[in-house]
Structure formats: structure tokens, C-alpha cells
Amino acid sequence: MPKLREVGEFEALRRLIDARRPGSGVVIGPGDDAAVLAPGSGREIVVTTDALVEGRHFLPEWLEPPARGARLATMNLSDLAAMAAEPRWATLSLGLRQDHDLDALLELQRGVDETLAPLGAAIVGGNLTAVEGSEWYDLALIGEVAAGAAWKRSGARAGDFIMVSGSPGRAGAGLRLARRLGEGARDPRWRSLIDAWRMPVARIALSRALLPTGAVRAAIDLSDGLAADLERMARASAVAVEVDLGALPVDPDLENAATELGIEAAALRLGASDDYELILAVAPGRDESIARAASEVGVSLHVIARAAKGSGVVWRGGPAAAGYDHFSS
Amino acid sequence: MPKLREVGEFEALRRLIDARRPGSGVVIGPGDDAAVLAPGSGREIVVTTDALVEGRHFLPEWLEPPARGARLATMNLSDLAAMAAEPRWATLSLGLRQDHDLDALLELQRGVDETLAPLGAAIVGGNLTAVEGSEWYDLALIGEVAAGAAWKRSGARAGDFIMVSGSPGRAGAGLRLARRLGEGARDPRWRSLIDAWRMPVARIALSRALLPTGAVRAAIDLSDGLAADLERMARASAVAVEVDLGALPVDPDLENAATELGIEAAALRLGASDDYELILAVAPGRDESIARAASEVGVSLHVIARAAKGSGVVWRGGPAAAGYDHFSS
């Protein structure tokens, strides 16, 4: 298993390019100065970027290379899901130590590739740089959406139902368990929470199913925890969001984790957690049909709040909780 | 001058977003989950990514924050110039230490912004991550080109004139002088070479002027040195490139630097150097009109080689020189 130092940048890039699946709409692919891509007629493009930094966003012992790649893809896919965009093309920029194993690098890319491919996207370009400290993996992802159809954070209006997919807080609970229990968190009883943290799924299928209904007025993905991301939607939409804490989905795993960690379950539900679920503002009276459309793609969707005149997040039935700030915490 | 640690990620991002110039064709700008952009009708998009890593791609004492930003933009702009694409939109992903000064960060972004803006491009999204070791700045740049019009590396045919803009080797000479002479390289006699290294310019204006002529059959940007990049074009186009070393532009600065460094001038002309000039394959008989079109945008263009049947780079009148491989050198 050769190291990057031994094979060199150009050979490593060639191996990476050879291993990639071809994408659709690619006029000129990897290997030229840039990739040339053909968006569909009447489509707008949707662009996001997010990075995974060793030691900061993942603990190497908890995330094998393919899962790192999958997670990197998911972080970016989730942004496109929140805009109701179809993922199409990605560039992968990597800062790697010279002792990085070439096979591990190929596995990392495979994780990205295999997460993107079923959703219709492919890696079309990239960059490789030697670093000395922590490694970093940076993805830029381009999607497409019909002109004017993208969801925004700012579209919620007073009266809208605020719905959330899945059960927020599970990823944060998994991370806290891994930090607290170390190897003990590999116990099967924590398996599903640990997996929610290690291997989140972006809600592309959900937004694809809901876009045609026309009932979604605003969306944001859950990357910092329910409290922080509800606050963002409230601010962007200039509405108050009145949360009914009693309406949060029942989740025995979170209750068990809270007991184990000696904290309130509400702190797990509302606090820092990158679940990559979606928060949606749904037109009044459309919540049940939307929940049915979601269940057809295997996703549960719960009304947890209403938008109202005013500002900020109003909590009913429990305490507030702060989001997570990478620099100040 | 607050540090990132003091202001926090979200406030730093807000300040960065507020400081950016607005772009054109931006349907939804920074601040949502992703940016939504409207390419022109009948246009293809062109995507590239490149990163600048502290200690690896720049020496902090030689490159102030605005010049780092400008250089990062130029590295990516150069890829679009080599495809004859119009730069439009960029995402900026940053890995920064928590003691990074907020004003220096704003200056870095200003360097990117002010390099992109006159060329019609703008930053539309980004990401901020705390790191502990070397800082890195990663840009993904999206451009546009009329469908089918992008230049490729692979279009050169036997008989084509191989032309190069400017005077390759100057950037590499500047870097070597800075490494060898330290502060002594700030002497005015080295000023223009040091600037060629510190503040390269991407040849967007040149490719914009030459695209309409239809005479350019292949292009590549000079990011690793003349020898390495000629070799790449030869391989991609499946032709031989016969270089007339006597035809390289005369450059007294390079001669002086070679004497100072105690090496052959040819090593500077052909070796590792990220000049961001363009190598072009031009249809026979079109070289003079192309050189005139270049001079109208203030760029010198010289015939240095001919494409011929065969493979690889054939040197006439001097020694070959190897390219630069980030991992193996």
C-alpha cells in the first residue's frame, strides 16, 4: 500500500480520476484545466461548499475513510436538499499528509462517489495538496433546480406549520456518547445513535418528493441543532416560531442516552447536532398531505411548531438551548 | 482587532458576507443553505477548484492577506482562462486558526473579491472552519462558455504553432530568489521577478480576446513550468511538441537571476514555475493575427514550438527540465 509521498501528486490524481464513476451532463471531464458541464435548459444551478477537518469534524478512530467520504458528500447534499435542488456535479479538494495511504485515499473518494452516484451526481474535478498538520477534505457541490423553484429559508409566513423530518438530536447524542464512553459507545445499545452521528443521510429523496406539491414555503437543513436552525429560519423569514416541545417525536434512544449522559433529554433534542434532517415551513392545511408524501419515501415528518407574527423562537413546554458555534465553543 | 475565537464563526461569516460585492446572475445569494445562480441560455458551465496552503504555496512573510486572496483567485481564474470561459461565481472555503485576526480575514476575502470583480465574477458562498495547524484557503470557481466552445488540452494537431504568453519562468525565479536571498530578495533589482511570483495575473483578457478568432485549437495554463505543461499538452493531444529553445522570449531578468542563483537560465525558463501564462496551439498561418489580437490586450505571445506527428516534447537547442510534483519533491 504505497504512500502519497511515494507515488507523487500526479500519479495519485490519475488514480483518483481513473477510479471515479462518470457523471451525466459532463462535456469535458477530469483531466483538463477545468470541467465543462451542461445544465438543463431553463434550470438554475445551486452551489454549496463544506469541509471535513480531521480532529474537528470527525474522530479518525470512529470514521473509516469511506465513511468520511460519505459524510463529506452528505454535508453538502443536505444543503441542496434544503434548496430542493437535484445534485449533479462535485469538485473534491483534499489536503493530505504525505504519509497518507493511497488505498485509503481511494476509499475516501469511493465514499463520496457512492453517496453521490445514486442521487445523480458525480465528481468532475479536484485538487490534491500536501499538508503537515490535520487533514481536510473540501467538497463543492453543484445542483440544478427549475428556475424560480428553489426553497429558501426566508419563505415562512405566519400561520405556516413548521415540520421536521426524522428525530433531531440523534447525531449529537451519538457524538456525546462516543466522547463520554469511548470504546464503550460501541455497545450495541448505542448502535443506532452512533450510526446517526457517523453516517447521516441527506434528505434529497424527501425534497424531491415534496417539491412538486408546492406546499413547502421555506426550508433549512439541520446542521447545528434544532434550536439554532429554527432560530435561523425565524430570523430569515421575519416570523416567530412557536415550538410545542410536547410535539417533538418520541425517541426512546434519546431518553436512554440522556440518562446515560446525566443530562436532560431536551438538551439532546434541541442542542448541537448535525442531523442533516430538514425543517420545513408548510402552508396551512397541507401538513397531512405533506406527511403522507414523506412517508412514501420512508421519512417521518412531524409538525413541531407554528410560524406566527413576531420574531425569534418561542418555546412552549420546556427550556431553550443554544446552538453550536465552531469558534466560540 | 478581534480574533476569530472572540467573534465566533457565525459573526465572522456574517461580516464576510456583508463585505462582499454582489454578483450578477445571483438568484439567491449568501446566507441561505446554498446559492442559486442563473447561467445564460445556451451556455455550458466550467468548474475548477484550487487551494492555497500556508507554508506550502505561500510564505506568510512574503504574501500579505490581500495578496493571498488575489493569488487564490488567480490560480482558479487561470484554469478558466485555459478553457476560454468567463468567470462568474465562486465559493470560498477557509480553514483558519482561532487566533486569526478578523480584519486580516476580511482583507484576504477582499483580495479574492477585487481580483474576481473586474472580470465579472463574485463570491456567492463559503464556509469557515477552525484548524490547528497550517491554514488553507480553498476556492471553487464557476464560469460560463458558449456550448461547445471551450478550449481543451487535447485539440492540438500536427502542424499547429505552439505559442506562449509572457515570459515563463519568472514566477519560479522569484520564488527561488526569495528562498535563496531571504530579505535580500526585496532589493529593487529583483522586484519584477518577485512580483511575478507573488502577484501573478490570470490571462482571462487574453482568452476573451482570442476565443472569437476561432484559431486556438488547444490551451493549457502554465502552473507547473513550461516543460511539464508542454508535456501535458503533447500527451493530451497525442502529438509531439518540438520546442525551439532559441525562440523563447529574451528575458534579461531571468538571465540575471540565473547568474545570481548559479544555475542555467534554461532551468528557470523550463522548470517549476507557476506563471499562470497560457500555452496555446494555434492553427497554421494564424500565429501572426493571434499575436496581434494578444498585443491589443497588452499581452505578448510568442511561437516557441510546433506540433508534429509523434509524442512527447522534443527539445531543440538545449536541455530538458522536469516539472514540479508537490508530493515527490
Condensed to tens digits (0 to 9), the pLDDT of residues A140-180 reads 999 999 999 999 999 999 999 999 999 999 999 999 999 99
Question: Which residue stretches of chain A have pLDDT < 70?
Answer: 318-329
> Residue for cell digits 482568452?
B207
d(CA B234, CA B247): 18
ipTM tops the 0.90 cut: yes
Question: What pLDDT shows up at residue B193?
Answer: 97
SS3 state at A168? coil
- Measured from the Cβ of residue B219, the count of other Cβ atoms closer than 10 Å reads 29
Condensed to tens digits (0 to 9), the pLDDT of residues B157-213 reads 999 999 999 999 999 999 999 999 999 999 999 999 999 999 999 999 999 999 999
- Measured from the Cβ of residue B241, the count of other Cβ atoms closer than 10 Å reads 27
Residue A44 with chain B: CB contacts under 8 Å:
27, 36-39
Q: How many residues does chain B have?
A: 329
Q: Which of A103, A88, A118 is nearest to A23 (CA)?
A: A88
Condensed to tens digits (0 to 9), the pLDDT of residues B204-254 reads 999 999 999 999 999 999 999 999 999 999 999 999 999 998 888 889 999
H-helix or E-strand spanning residue A307: strand A301-308
- Domains, chain A, ordered by start: 8-146 (3.30.1330.10), 153-316 (3.90.650.10)
d(CA B310, CA B314): 10
Q: Residue B65: what are its φ and ψ, rounded to 5°? A: -50, -45
Asked if A77 has any chain B CB less than 8 Å from its own CB, the reply is: no
Taking residues B283-300, what's their average pLDDT? 96
> Residue for cell digits 470504546?
A183
Condensed to tens digits (0 to 9), the pLDDT of residues A309-324 reads 999 999 987 655 444 3
Asked if B136 has any chain A CB less than 8 Å from its own CB, the reply is: yes
d(CA B323, CA B267): 10
Condensed to tens digits (0 to 9), the pLDDT of residues B116-147 reads 999 999 999 999 998 988 899 999 999 999 99
- The whole-model pTM stands at 0.94
Which of B78, B142, B154 lies at the smallest CB-CB distance from A47?
B142
d(CA B192, CA B275): 13
Determine whether the interchain pair A44/B32 forms a contact, defined as Cβ–Cβ distance below 8 Å: no
- Find out whether B279 and B164 touch, Cβ atoms under 8 Å: yes
Residue B100 with chain A: CB contacts under 8 Å:
none
Minimal-distance CA residue of chain B relative to A140: B140
Strands B122-130, A86-96: pairing kind? unpaired
